[in-house]
Amino acid sequence: MFNTGIKSLSDLKTQEVIANIRKIREFRNYTQDYLAAKLNISQNAYSKIELGYSSITLHRLIEITEILEISLVELISFGGDMAQIKFTVKAS
């Protein structure tokens, strides 16, 4: 087979979800260090997730959505409009 230089739909969707993670993390004013600590991984390992260098499991993706306080469906379908993000208040 030959590489046509065109990314598959799944590759494009994966990049979109990764970009959404970063956008929502920044919107929440969370650092990569904060998410890494919550996920019990190094900041470098977390950075690789956002850069698309590391694949993540569904379990890890769900953990990220819980930290970002967004549903998995919202993360996957997020179009960049921060007004779409539902704010949840966690009980102390």
Which is more confident, 48 or 87? Answer: 48
The maximal CA–CA distance of the chain, rounded, in angstroms, is 56
- For the segment 20-30, what is each residue's pLDDT rounded down to a tens digit? 999 999 999 99
With 80 as the cut, is the pLDDT of residue 14 above it?
A: yes
Q: For residue 36, what is the domain's CATH number?
A: 1.10.260.40
Query: Which residue segment(s) compose the domain that 46 sits in?
Result: 9-84
What is the pLDDT, as a whole number, of residue 38? Answer: 98
89 within some domain: no
- The total number of structural domains in the chain stands at 1
2 within some domain: no
91 within some domain: no
Q: Helix or strand or coil: residue 42?
A: coil
With 90 as the cut, is the pLDDT of residue 43 above it?
A: yes
Token readout for 44 is 């470098």
